[in-house]
A and B are shown apart, each in its own frame.
Chain A
Amino acid sequence: MNQFSAHVTKNREIALDYYELSFIWSADNTPEPGQFITLRCGTGTAPLLRRPFALSSYNPETKTARIIYQKRGEATTLLTAKHPEDTIDIIGPLGNGFPAPSEGSRPVLVAGGIGLGPVLFLAKAMRETQTPPLLIFGARNRYQVPLEIIEPLSASIDIAVCTDDGSQGFKGTAADYLQEHCPEHPEFFTCGPHPMMKAVYDLSRTCRARCWVSMEQIMACGVGACMGCAIAVKGEKPFARVCVEGPVFDGDAVVW
């Protein structure tokens, strides 16, 4: 992990209120799918805290990393105003990424909304290895589907887009889609709204598959110092910190 000042190379809207920010990576370590950064969105005291964002891609040749974010508050609205040549204050890579899938399993990647970022990064990494994954993406409607980001992947992996209103792809949630189209010997990797991840986890229990979940919690330090980003877990200790014990957890360890 390092703190570095990164040059923005691109910042564009990829779907309604969804943005992709590209910047030059200069930390010592290369990021893994599932890992995140914290970023200072403003320069003053409001918004104050750094915001965590999962990485959505990393290109080792150009040393370019990306995040996908949704404009939904003051901090992310400030972020939309960043232009190429602006610099942003980044700490990363942080947290633990997704583990490699077990041998013989079919990776099923399930993303909801802004959870698409880390899942896309994972899908790109899996493209080059073993069994190609199935990627399921759920959004409210077609305006929130960043097709130009997802479609280039369809040459190498199977992709299903689901919308709540049926305006694009399958009508229903990503979990609804899975109920009908779950492949054999699945292993789940998911990031998105809590109810969606819980639904995917519940499904994993019925088909006795492993399920890796990328959890979200309000964060202050991002490095394990403040104990603020705790989530409830099973086992000896009742809580785990999303920033250092996570953000990726074994679904069996989470108190849903």
Chain B
Amino acid sequence: MSTIKLQLNIGTKTLPNPVGVASGTFGYGSEYEKLIGLEHLGGLYTKAVTLEPRPGNGIPRIIETPSGMLNSIGLANVGLDAFVRTKLPYFKTLKCPVIVNVAGSSADEYLRLVEALEEFDEVWGYEINLSCPNVKKGCLAFGSDPAQVETLTASLRSRTAKPLIIKLTPNVTSIGSIARGAEQGGADAVSCINTLLGMVIDIRKKRPVLQNMTGGLSGPAIRPVGVAAVYNVARSVKIPVIGIGGIMTASDAIEYLLAGASAVQVGTGTFVDPGIPEKILSGIETYMKEEGLADMGSFHRFIT
């Protein structure tokens, strides 16, 4: 194999490589700039941005679980105005694509956020968060109904030509039908999965460990769930699928690619070792050379 093509088209743009970092696990990028070379990332998915600043949920917010962790952060973020003022200038200095993760408690909020960010070239595209399990309004409520996903995606589509990625929740009966709603609404890609709803109970205090009672489960424990979801979604839509869930190694990422993903995001894995995304990218390249795979699409012919 003479050349390997790691790039991937999402709508009108091209991701430089298939390994990005997942929203909510990488802040706004600057937090990790001293530890890794951000220029190697095939996409920096920002901490979710909401219209108003949000303080986040009560404490404690996280607890480790077997090969995973449960979190209930509650979309703690600086809000749109401060995001534009204090975070966008930093994104201008970055060489990797910055995909802004957008979350709202009403359809109108999602639209206003995208409208407000549209003029900034440093915003490469959007990942629409229809899947956070830790907030009371919006997100999951939209993300579990294919018709609502389609309507909201279509409204967003009419407001932007930039890549529009819909992030899907696994906490539904049929993730494939939700993905179809996104595709029919005009999404350029879907990313899945967001965290699984979970609970941990302190048996001495006889109450849930997290103040919010439940949280989102992530980490290696959920990887087989994510791979199955990607397998299902990739057979339901023609747009690219971005695989997320418990990826720690190149072989984990390759499972997602073989299941039908064209790119992946590393989330909890970055907490464990910030160098993981770069190691995974290099492992994927090696695998492609060894297996004679030319591009990301060539992973998809094996499992039908």
* Residues of A participating in the B interface, judged by any CB pair closer than 8 Å: 1-3, 40, 45-50, 89, 91, 217-232, 237-239
Contact with B64, one of A49, A226, A231, A238 (Cβ below 8 angstroms): A49
Count of chain B residues with a beta carbon within 8 Å of a chain A beta carbon = 35
A-B contacts, 17 of them at CB < 8 A, read A2-B34, A3-B273, A40-B272, A45-B248, A46-B66, A48-B64, A48-B219, A220-B268, A225-B26, A225-B27, A225-B31, A225-B32, A228-B61, A228-B62, A228-B71, A230-B76, A239-B56
Contact with A227, one of B61, B248, B274 (Cβ below 8 angstroms): B61
Q: Is the CB of B25 within 8 A of A227?
A: no
The distance in angstroms between the C-alpha atoms of A231 and B242, with both chains bound, is 34
Q: Residue on B with the closest CB to A1?
A: B34
Residues of A within 8 A of B66 (CB): 46
The distance in angstroms between the C-alpha atoms of A8 and B221, with both chains bound, is 31
8 interchain residue pairs of minimum CB distance: A225-B27, A228-B62, A45-B67, A225-B31, A45-B220, A227-B76, A220-B271, A223-B31
The distance in angstroms between the C-alpha atoms of A48 and B218, with both chains bound, is 11
Q: Is the CB of A226 within 8 A of B62?
A: yes
Contact with A1, one of B35, B63, B69, B219 (Cβ below 8 angstroms): B35
Most central of A221, A222, A226, A232 by chain B CB within 10 Å: A226
Q: Is the CB of A91 within 8 A of B271?
A: no
Q: Is the CB of B272 within 8 A of A230?
A: no
Q: Is the CB of A239 within 8 A of B69?
A: no
B164 CB to nearest chain A CB (Å): 25
Q: Is the CB of A217 within 8 A of B59?
A: yes
How many A-B contacts are there with CB distance less than 8 Å? 95
Q: Is the CB of A49 within 8 A of B61?
A: no
The distance in angstroms between the C-alpha atoms of A1 and B31, with both chains bound, is 10
Knowing that A227-B56, A231-B59 touch, tell me 4 more A-B residue pairs with CB under 8 angstroms.
A45-B220, A218-B62, A223-B27, A226-B62
Q: Residue on B with the closest CB to A91?
A: B35
Q: Residue on B with the closest CB to A230?
A: B59
* Residues of B participating in the A interface, judged by any CB pair closer than 8 Å: 24-27, 31-32, 34-35, 47, 55-56, 59-64, 66-69, 71, 73, 76, 219-221, 248, 268, 270-275
The interface residues of chain B, by DSSP majority, are classed as loop
Q: Residue on B with the closest CB to A222?
A: B271
The interface residues of chain A, by DSSP majority, are classed as loop
Q: Is the CB of A48 within 8 A of B274?
A: no
The distance in angstroms between the C-alpha atoms of A228 and B24, with both chains bound, is 10
Q: Is the CB of A227 within 8 A of B59?
A: no
Residues of B within 8 A of A218 (CB): 60, 62-64
A45 CB to nearest chain B CB (Å): 4
Residues of B within 8 A of A50 (CB): 271-272
The distance in angstroms between the C-alpha atoms of A184 and B275, with both chains bound, is 50
Q: Is the CB of B55 within 8 A of A238?
A: yes
Q: Residue on A with the closest CB to B36?
A: A3
B253 CB to nearest chain A CB (Å): 15
Contact with A91, one of B62, B73, B274 (Cβ below 8 angstroms): B274
The distance in angstroms between the C-alpha atoms of A154 and B191, with both chains bound, is 60
Q: Residue on B with the closest CB to A244?
A: B31
Contact with A232, one of B27, B59, B63 (Cβ below 8 angstroms): B59
Residues of B within 8 A of A239 (CB): 55-56, 59, 76
Given A48-B268, A50-B272, A218-B62, also A226-B68 (CB < 8 A): no
The distance in angstroms between the C-alpha atoms of A44 and B59, with both chains bound, is 28
Q: Is the CB of B35 within 8 A of A237?
A: no
Most central of A40, A220, A223 by chain B CB within 10 Å: A220
